[in-house]
A and B are shown apart, each in its own frame.
Chain A
């Protein structure tokens, strides 16, 4: 508490909006007599230049050290008034605003009562002002580096954006080369660019960029630290080939006796050797030994590659190693897998070489477009969509988004290749919603591609052909047709390990298995943790264009976060009173952001991770936690200040600051009415208010308490969990209050969303209920006070 408070109170008429209902002069008069107040002024429009100048003048003239501004909702002009106060030489946190418009003059009709309430609110603010402290935002330096996990198109473009902005980028890729899925594709729809041609130059750019370090055969296994200062441990598998020495001359592979290893890049359609270059444009341009298929590692013999290598680049002694890097932000761009259609036995995948996936078809397009079985030109080719997609019962419930366009593209390219070919596309719906997509669909129809609307029932090998059965639903007839080649469009899945890598950085996966963005619409590339982002197919199936958009977006977000070189941490955070803390760890459990840790036997709050929700405060059995700018003393001062009022009964509505407070404002904007017996006290969340505070409220003279909480909590719990905890919190308080003779009906709770602000009509019910109840005796209140003071 400040020794010598010199408080100035400013009450606004708001051009009649306030003064029509509230007797502003009386409020000013009453304020001038409140403890610590040296001056009280009014003005028609406090937010006008004249009003602000008045404030600045008065602050200087009276050497004020605290300011109370009673006017409209702080959501409108908090910044305005804080600026004025700063210009007058005071710390912005020494200003307290009182809402006597949206939450007073606009919601009440009785002039006398409304004025009483305004005076009560101002008193609460004045008492609080005694305990306000100057606060500075905290600044923490950040690492100007970013780790990008995944070297596909999304990872590549995110890395280039960041590197070009001057950040150091660690591009971590678990395959031996970057490039990802795009390097397996023929052409990209709808423009039909050569996929590898457009990506390869960027890959070279990445390799040559001084700010980007590519780390292949690597995966993050541990992430610690805090936003802006993450520490990541990478597990790096041995390549057994020295990248700087390897000239990619291919002499080793020529001598390698293991020639029948399934080639991942060719989607299993061709073979490679145990020592191999993944594909010609691989970056790094170096060979790698596949330990599982290498004779030396399996049987201890051979080593022919080492003998053939003219540069001694092969090293069988290389071991797996761990490496730690420090980064300021992390971007997950872990990409996509194609579902194996084998379990959907009706399509006979795996029973005949001419039944392939669309990914395998890309490889066929790039190797002469022949059927795998006999290398003949396929005439009749069936493209089957929705193999495992849009199938809650037998696959994935979601739509894999791009398979329709892939099938259109592939059918188109097939016809380009072999003019006499007959592509048929069997679809459930043709999804061609992107830019240029519908036009491409039109081109495909012009090109003579046949379309049958009906999900294929079965594909069976039939004497050298493939028999397909389906219903043409547009006609209502069954179709049975033999094809030379069948191309399945399997569901697209998040790449293996997505869930695990997401967990490392606090990013959950949704029910579809893909990473969950912070907010579906407004924060589509942010993770739950600050400084963590995601881009591309890791978030859901999409095409190259959208992946690039997200990659650049994630890079921009990371750059915004790290740009200042330091992060500003709001001072309104929880902190530990070390003398009172006994290290019990309850706060660690309840914190929704994992922002508290026990160090050296005492709790410690990470101010960067802490979001200032206040949930930890009432949970602490030793009252060893407090919250800056919403301290225990400040809250109690407001309660006691507000309760010294003639309003009878008096009900305090502890209102959550983001949605609850705004909902109350909207009630006022709507000019709805409720009795002036309700006095709103803003809190970060209602969970910050515990039994102790409620008891104080009753001791101070309140007759009822309402908790107004947001239905969709902002502190990171699922909606169900948040509501559950809210209800439990209130029930527990109600139960405890009975021990003090306070009936549970005096405590009510409501959860609101902004569109449902009308739920606050509960205020009417609360007031009526309390009015109808037997008043709390002075003895009862005195007893509570006694308990509180011991």
Chain B
């Protein structure tokens, strides 16, 4: 399978290890990723609030480039925010005549056209099809030894409902299924689709920290030893901000947060450093060792 790969802006910064681990896992599963040349920001939901036509144009620029990459080629992205934004843009471009006109004009200014035909996938979607799960289970060499993981989907990967949404908005199961295949134990997590606050951590830090605190507390209560997520912004909130949460509320969590691709990588025998596990604020290494998950250093 070949996909056009749209990493999203966080792939070079806060989501670096996500990008890395995804590329490695894709390679191991013989999924070809061709990065969209000169891709730019999709707009994100921030631009959507400010100016929907602008957001749609920014998305459309990238999708126009994808169209150029080949007939019928489909896009995969690791960022849930980009996934949601690109899909929203596609919908708007299909149904809103006003947006269609504005976007057309904007793209013409940079010599591009877009026909709203590109299919958009999320990395979680692509790596949890029955075919992918079968391939993964055949290639597992280091199962995760019952590691108790809270499957944290976040909101953007399952909402809003599109016609071709790949999982349920209330009780999705794709990540749960994947974790079982990897030999881990997905715990029943009440907040698996509850929003982490997203950019609120920047706009209203205190509110953002409280939202993250709850997610961590509920994960702990559910018996989770760690969390896995498909969204780089959720990871930023849950991992990078975890020390701040602990400090602000004088509570200790010490819950490592994985990008789900990192867990696949581990099970497939890839090295922790390759997967960027040393880049986390809350290190998962001692947890993995204590569980007996074989990791080479």
Taking A345-B170, A348-B171 as known contacts, 15 extra A-B pairs with beta carbons closer than 8 A to each other, sorted by chain A number, are: A345-B168, A345-B171, A346-B170, A351-B171, A458-B170, A460-B190, A461-B188, A461-B190, A462-B190, A462-B221, A462-B222, A463-B221, A463-B222, A463-B223, A467-B190
- Report Cα–Cα, A467/B218, bound state, in Å: 11
Report B159-171 CB contacts with A as 1/0, cut-off 8 Å: 0000000001011
Report A299-337 CB contacts with B as 1/0, cut-off 8 Å: 000000000000000000000000000000000000000
- Interface positions of A from 337 to 361, Cβ below 8 Å from B: 345-346, 348, 351
Give 3 nearest A-B pairs by CB, closest first. A345-B170, A460-B190, A345-B171
Residues of chain A within 8 A (CB-CB) of B170 are: 345-346, 458
Report A452-495 CB contacts with B as 1/0, cut-off 8 Å: 00000010111100010000000000000000000000000000
A102 to chain B, nearest CB (A): 57
Nearest CB to that of A466 among chain B residues? B190
- Report Cα–Cα, A341/B278, bound state, in Å: 45
Report B223-237 CB contacts with A as 1/0, cut-off 8 Å: 100000000000000
Residues of chain B within 8 A (CB-CB) of A462 are: 190, 221-222
Q: Provide a sorted-by-A list of 14 A–B residue pairs whose CB atoms are within 8 angstroms.
A: A345-B168, A345-B170, A348-B171, A351-B171, A458-B170, A460-B190, A461-B188, A461-B190, A462-B190, A462-B222, A463-B221, A463-B222, A463-B223, A467-B190
- Report Cα–Cα, A348/B190, bound state, in Å: 10
* Total chain A interface residues with beta-carbon distance under 8 A: 10
- Report Cα–Cα, A395/B168, bound state, in Å: 17
Residues of chain B within 8 A (CB-CB) of A348 are: 171
List B residues at the A interface (Cβ < 8 Å).
Answer: 168, 170-171, 188, 190, 221-223
A545 to chain B, nearest CB (A): 38
Report A432-460 CB contacts with B as 1/0, cut-off 8 Å: 00000000000000000000000000101
A663 to chain B, nearest CB (A): 47
Residues of chain A within 8 A (CB-CB) of B221 are: 462-463
A488 to chain B, nearest CB (A): 15
- Report Cα–Cα, A462/B223, bound state, in Å: 10
Nearest CB to that of A352 among chain B residues? B188
A477 to chain B, nearest CB (A): 15
A467 to chain B, nearest CB (A): 6
A342 to chain B, nearest CB (A): 10
A345 to chain B, nearest CB (A): 4
- Report Cα–Cα, A348/B168, bound state, in Å: 13
Residues of chain A within 8 A (CB-CB) of B190 are: 460-462, 467
Nearest CB to that of A462 among chain B residues? B190
- Report Cα–Cα, A460/B188, bound state, in Å: 9
- Report Cα–Cα, A467/B194, bound state, in Å: 14
Residues of chain B within 8 A (CB-CB) of A346 are: 170
A436 to chain B, nearest CB (A): 39
Residues of chain B within 8 A (CB-CB) of A463 are: 221-223
- Report Cα–Cα, A458/B190, bound state, in Å: 10
Nearest CB to that of B192 among chain A residues? A460
Residues of chain A within 8 A (CB-CB) of B188 are: 461
Q: Which of A345, A460, A462 has the most CB of B within 10 A?
A: A460
Residues of chain A within 8 A (CB-CB) of B168 are: 345
- Report Cα–Cα, A462/B221, bound state, in Å: 8
- Report Cα–Cα, A463/B189, bound state, in Å: 9
Residues of chain A within 8 A (CB-CB) of B223 are: 463
Q: Which of B188, B221, B222, B223 has the most CB of A within 10 A?
A: B188
- Report Cα–Cα, A196/B20, bound state, in Å: 67
B240 to chain A, nearest CB (A): 27
A357 to chain B, nearest CB (A): 18
Residues of chain A within 8 A (CB-CB) of B171 are: 345, 348, 351
Residues of chain B within 8 A (CB-CB) of A458 are: 170
- Report Cα–Cα, A458/B170, bound state, in Å: 9
B52 to chain A, nearest CB (A): 24
- Report Cα–Cα, A410/B171, bound state, in Å: 29
Residues of chain B within 8 A (CB-CB) of A461 are: 188, 190
A355 to chain B, nearest CB (A): 13
A480 to chain B, nearest CB (A): 10
- Report Cα–Cα, A472/B170, bound state, in Å: 22
Residues of chain B within 8 A (CB-CB) of A460 are: 190
- Report Cα–Cα, A348/B170, bound state, in Å: 9
Q: Which of B171, B190, B223 has the most CB of A within 10 A?
A: B190
Residues of chain B within 8 A (CB-CB) of A351 are: 171
Nearest CB to that of B190 among chain A residues? A460
A457 to chain B, nearest CB (A): 11
- Report Cα–Cα, A405/B213, bound state, in Å: 40
B174 to chain A, nearest CB (A): 15
B33 to chain A, nearest CB (A): 33
Nearest CB to that of B221 among chain A residues? A463
Nearest CB to that of B191 among chain A residues? A460
B152 to chain A, nearest CB (A): 14
Nearest CB to that of B222 among chain A residues? A463
- Report Cα–Cα, A351/B223, bound state, in Å: 18
B274 to chain A, nearest CB (A): 36
B176 to chain A, nearest CB (A): 12
B159 to chain A, nearest CB (A): 12
Nearest CB to that of B189 among chain A residues? A460
Nearest CB to that of A467 among chain B residues? B190
B62 to chain A, nearest CB (A): 33
Residues of chain B within 8 A (CB-CB) of A345 are: 168, 170-171
- Report Cα–Cα, A471/B293, bound state, in Å: 43
- Report Cα–Cα, A467/B221, bound state, in Å: 12
Nearest CB to that of A346 among chain B residues? B170
Q: Which of A351, A458, A462 has the most CB of B within 10 A?
A: A462
Nearest CB to that of B223 among chain A residues? A463
B168 to chain A, nearest CB (A): 6
A589 to chain B, nearest CB (A): 41
- Report Cα–Cα, A504/B170, bound state, in Å: 41
- Report Cα–Cα, A127/B96, bound state, in Å: 68
A350 to chain B, nearest CB (A): 10
- Report Cα–Cα, A463/B171, bound state, in Å: 17
B155 to chain A, nearest CB (A): 14
A142 to chain B, nearest CB (A): 56
B198 to chain A, nearest CB (A): 19
Nearest CB to that of A463 among chain B residues? B221
- Interface positions of A from 231 to 273, Cβ below 8 Å from B: none
Nearest CB to that of B187 among chain A residues? A463
Residues of chain B within 8 A (CB-CB) of A467 are: 190
B43 to chain A, nearest CB (A): 28
Q: Which of A346, A348, A463, A467 has the most CB of B within 10 A?
A: A463
- Report Cα–Cα, A348/B188, bound state, in Å: 12
- Report Cα–Cα, A780/B191, bound state, in Å: 85
- Report Cα–Cα, A766/B168, bound state, in Å: 64
- Report Cα–Cα, A351/B168, bound state, in Å: 15
A723 to chain B, nearest CB (A): 34
A73 to chain B, nearest CB (A): 58
A257 to chain B, nearest CB (A): 34
A107 to chain B, nearest CB (A): 55
Nearest CB to that of A348 among chain B residues? B171
Nearest CB to that of B214 among chain A residues? A480
- Report Cα–Cα, A345/B190, bound state, in Å: 12
Nearest CB to that of B169 among chain A residues? A345
A509 to chain B, nearest CB (A): 29
A382 to chain B, nearest CB (A): 15
- Report Cα–Cα, A201/B224, bound state, in Å: 57
- Report Cα–Cα, A194/B223, bound state, in Å: 45
A159 to chain B, nearest CB (A): 45
B223 to chain A, nearest CB (A): 8
A642 to chain B, nearest CB (A): 59
Nearest CB to that of B218 among chain A residues? A462
- Report Cα–Cα, A462/B222, bound state, in Å: 7
- Report Cα–Cα, A346/B170, bound state, in Å: 6
- Report Cα–Cα, A467/B170, bound state, in Å: 15
- Report Cα–Cα, A460/B170, bound state, in Å: 11
Nearest CB to that of B171 among chain A residues? A345
- Report Cα–Cα, A556/B136, bound state, in Å: 70
- Report Cα–Cα, A332/B221, bound state, in Å: 53
- Report Cα–Cα, A458/B168, bound state, in Å: 15
